[in-house]
Amino acid sequence: MAGDTVPEAPRAPTIIPVLVILALGIVLPFLLSSGFHLRLAMLVWIYAILCMGFNLLYGYSGQISLGSPAFYAIGGYAFAMLQTMLGMGPVSAFVGSLLLVAVLSLLIGLPLLRLRTHYLAMATLAFMLVQNGVANRWINFTGGQSGVAVPPLEWGGEPIGRMGIYFVILALAAAVFILHDFLIRSHLGRAMQAIRDDETAAQALGVKVTRMKLAVLVLSAVMAAIAGVCFGITSLRVDPSLSEFHVLVSLLTIVVVGGLGTRFGPILGSIIVVLLPQLLHEFGELETVVYGLFILLFLLFLPHGLSGLLERRDWRLRRTGKKPAPAVARDLKEELP
């Protein structure tokens, strides 16, 4: 039977760790004592969603696009404004905001993805600055500095409590996490990494490079928008701080600390970046310095991030059964004219 000779997938192929992480996410709120802790847990998931999109785009496909915070903010604003200005329900506003961001990212991606490396980074950074400028200064439309209020989520006429909101966010994070995991373990993840490593060779093998880059950009923008909506429903307000520099810095810190182009990097990184400042509170004035020191240590000693510790970097296949016979000769003969 041919199955005997099939080697294991090079990287841990099971979905079990994903399910374990999600199960921990379900149990977590029952272990937390205060609303503040629950809010931190929500923030971890929100940043994880945002960074999974960025991980697909930069970590896996090698496209250094810094537009994620802008899509994060636009997602949040659209979710709020579709409700307050057009009177949509939360579900249709959610779908509407994702569609809006998808179309917008497509329009931006078409010209910008022709650029590579730092040119792409600069162009997308400019997009983020423009978006932030509009949010700050078009006061009549965006509410300026104070932003826009997000109507609280309701269920049967009653506003949903903190616990309920947490589970809404967890459900969205789970969907994003499972999609992220599916993509990177499938042939699509392989194609993304091929694009990252060598576009010309990927193209010669039949990978539709331009389309794939655009698809990943749109997907990562939609993930950012989901994160923005989640931020809106926890904070009940979206303002220009969603696309300020500190968000971009957090984003980059998370993927580097967690591990760029790894399965669990975005989640592990988010946990560190959200919780570390809380743990460092007792350092008082020195907090930022100690935080910076921690990040530096990560970069020096864990170049592949936390996730790099868990994932095997040099792949050794476990093979069972006999060595495969060179059957390819026969195959080729049959298939050639």
Partner 1 sequence: MTATDPLLRLDNVTRRFGGLVAVNDISFQIHSGEVKGLIGPNGAGKSTTFDLVTGVRPPSSGEVYFRGQRVTRQPAHTRSPMGMARTFQIVRLFSGLSVLENVQLGLHPKFPDGIVRSLLRLGSLSGQERASRERAMDLLAFVGLADRAGHAIDQLTLGQLRLVDIARALAADPVLLMLDEPAAGLNDAETDNLGEMLVRLRKQGLSMLLVEHDIDFIMKACDSIVVMDHGVKIADGTPAEVARNPDVIAAYFGRRAVHAAA
By CB under 8 A, residue 9 contacts partner 1? yes
Which residue, 211 or 281, has its beta carbon nearer to partner 1? 211
What's the chain's Rg over C-alpha atoms? 22
Is the Cβ of residue 292 or residue 324 nearer to partner 1 in the bound state?
324
Cβ atoms of 193 and 60 closer than 8 Å: yes
CB of 12 to partner 1, least distance (A): 13
Burial class (CB in 10 A: 0-12, 13-18, 19+), 230: buried
Residue 16 vs 329, nearer CB to partner 1: 329
| Closer CB to partner 1, 62 or 143, in the complex | 62
Provide DSSP, 152-206: PPEETTEEP-HHHHHHHHHHHHHHHHHHHHHHHHSHHHHHHHHHHH-HHHHHHTT
CB 53 within 8 A of CB 121: no
102 in contact with partner 1 (CB under 8 A): no
Contacting residues for 295 by C-beta, under 8 A, at least 6 apart: 253, 256, 257
Considering only residues 272 to 311 of the shown chain, the ones binding partner 1 according to CB under 8 A are: none
Question: What DSSP designation does 34 have?
Answer: S
Q: What is the 3-state secondary structure (H, E, C) of 217-286?
A: HHHHHHHHHHHHHHHHHHHCEECHHHHCHHHHHHHHHHHHHHCCCCCCHHHHHHHHHHHHHHHHHHHHHH
The dihedral formed by the CA atoms of 269, 272, 275 and 277, expressed in degrees to the nearest 10: -110
User: To the nearest whole angstrom, how small is the minimum distance from the Cβ of residue 158 to partner 1?
Assistant: 35
**Separation between Cα atoms, residue 236 and residue 264, nearest integer Å:** 29
Residue 225 or residue 272: which is nearer to partner 1 going by CB? 225
Nearer to partner 1 by Cβ, of 139 and 201: the residue is: 201
Angle at 296 between CA 290 and CA 301, to 5 degrees: 125
State the minimum distance, in angstroms, from the CB of residue 80 to partner 1. Answer: 28
Shortest Å, Cβ 255 to partner 1:
15
CB of 34: closest distance to partner 1 in angstroms? 39
* Closer by beta carbon to partner 1, 128 or else 221: 221
Candidates 148-156, 269-277, 294-302, 327-335: pick the segment binding partner 1 (CB under 8 A).
327-335
Q: Closest separation between CB of residue 298 and partner 1, Å? A: 21
In the region spanning residues 168 to 227, those forming contacts with partner 1, defined by CB under 8 A, are 182-183, 186-188, 190-191, 193-194, 196-198, 200-209, 211, 215, 219
C-beta closer to partner 1: residue 19 or 139: 19
For partner 1, give the closer residue by CB, 216 or 248: 216
At closest approach, how far in Å is the CB of 143 from partner 1?
35
Q: Mask of contacts with partner 1, 227-266, x by CB under 8 A? A: ----------------------------------x-----
Hey, how many other C-beta atoms are within 10 angstroms of the C-beta on 285? Answer: 6
> Least CB distance from residue 212 to partner 1, whole Å?
8
Nearest distance in Å: CB 316, partner 1: 5
Tell me the DSSP string of 104-157.
Answer: HHHHHHHHHTTS-HHHHHHHHHHHHHHHHHHHHH-HHHH-GGG-EEPPPPEETT
**Using CB under 8 A as the criterion, which residues of the chain lie in contact with partner 1 when the complex forms?**
2-3, 5-7, 9-10, 182-183, 186-188, 190-191, 193-194, 196-198, 200-209, 211, 215, 219, 261, 314-317, 323-329, 331-333, 335-337
